[in-house]
Amino acid sequence: MDLYEYQGKQYFARFGIPTSRGGVADSVDDAVAQADAAGYPVVVKAQVKVGGRGKAGGIKLAGDADEVRAHAAAILGMDIKGHVVRRLWIEHASDIAAEYYASFTLDRLAKLHLGMLSATGGVEIEQVAEDNPGAIARLHIDPVQGLDAAAARRWVDEAGLDHKAREQAAELLVALYRCYVEGDCDLAEVNPLILTTDGRVHALDAKVTLDDNAAFRHPDWAEYAATETEDPREKMAKEKGLNYIGLEGSVGIIANGAGLAMSTCDVVNQVGGQPANFLDIGGGANADVMSAALEVINADPHVRAIFVNIFGGITRVDEVAKGVIEALGRVDLRAPIVLRLDGTNAEEGRALLIPHLSDRLIAEETMMAAARRAVALANQTGAHDASEERA
């Protein structure tokens, strides 16, 4: 679960990570009250779970109450990359001398935690990594050893932070590491981590992803879950008990089994398409499950073709075929379906489908052929690239 910046900063505060004084506002009047409390000048910040808010106009400096009023009115309701701003964070503005980058995440390949620190912050770290990979000091941390003050000091030296920032930065990084480990984060990122003109180091932004698998240890996380604005597609899928993850493309995917669903996403990519979702319908691919799956995919306006990829094991393909046929009678689909059915009772399943095949329901022999067909259909009926439209 991703946290909003203000929640991330509140989380940071529990571990003693310094941030700017501020408060949350849901209206223009609230914003002015929070600005009065924080002290001018202030920064008015859109609370959306997406990066690049600054560039999108979602972060504005305000010198007085009138400016707060104007910026708050403009930012509330603003659409930032598909996220509508419903809440603001107002904080006392900092005078910035330098902007750094710091984060902790898990390096699955190395089986170690990975800290990244750069004296070049405030910008897209992906861009820094591409243009000047040497500018990021990477530190692998053994979870048993942890990160102590001495190691943190060597790390800030290596990253080349300004000398007067080093001691405070090292201390902050130890606290951020504790937040990451004890706070059960998948990601704890500060961009920018700043040095102020009066020589203080603190977190100007907060990006925290909590590890949902650790939720049982943190009853207080319920408060974050309550403010979570889910992808409406994922919400609908959850209500129907489906294992669904929304993606950016135009090819809807239904498969039985998580492994096959992932492979299906891969082959769609491989033949030049983009999956609109991951959807594993599990073992029981009966008409109810199939209708639910088709309904969820049908509700996504970006879907231009649906690829149903079933490998019958315990699930018998003739049962799946019956499910598909019955579901088609219930759901009025906008996009054509490409079916690939294989495995137990595949022949029987295909035979059942023959009378129903049309240019809206197409059967292919292999997974690759079906992927190609689905991608061709998605590209043909799509007048424009769905992923661009969504971005």
Instruction: Using alpha carbons, select from 119, 211, 207, 202 the residue that is nearest to residue 159.
Output: 119
Strand partners, 359: none
- Joined together, the tokens standing for residue 129 give 């990594």
Minimum gap (Å) between residue 54 Cβ and Mn ion: 7
Least distance in angstroms from the C-beta of 191 to ligand GDP = 6
Residue 27 structure tokens: 């209206």
Among 37, 96, 110, 258, binds ligand GDP (CB under 6 A): 96
- Of 88-96, 132-140, 236-244, 356-364, the window that binds ligand GDP (rule: CB under 6 A) is 88-96
| Cα distance between residue 75 and residue 80, in whole Å | 9
Q: Is 244 one of the annotated active-site residues of the chain? A: no
Name which of 60 and 113 has its Cβ closer to ligand GDP. 60
- Distance linking the first and last C-alpha atoms of the chain: 21
Contact between 122 and ligand GDP by CB under 6 A: the answer reads yes
What's the min distance (Å) between Cβ of 62 and ligand GDP? Answer: 11
- Binding mask 20-59 toward ligand GDP (x if CB under 6 A, else -) reads -----------------------x-------xxxx----x
Encoding tokens for residue 259? 């492994």
Rounded CA-CA distance 63/35 in Å is 10
Pick 205 or 300: Cβ nearer Mn ion: 205
101 is catalytic: yes
CB nearer to Mn ion: pick between 100 and 177: 100
* Residue 380 identity (one-letter amino acid): Q
Q: Which of 6, 11, 100, 101 is catalytic?
A: 101
Our CB check for ligand GDP shows the closer of 208 and 296 to be 208
Alpha helices in the chain, H assignment, sequence order = 5-14, 28-38, 65-75, 125-131, 149-159, 163-182, 222-226, 232-239, 258-270, 287-298, 317-330, 346-353, 367-381, 386-390
* Catalytic residue annotation: 101, 189
Give the binding site for ligand GDP (CB under 6 A).
Answer: 43, 51-54, 59, 93-94, 96, 99, 122, 191-192, 204-205
Rule CB under 5 A: which residues touch Mn ion? 191, 205
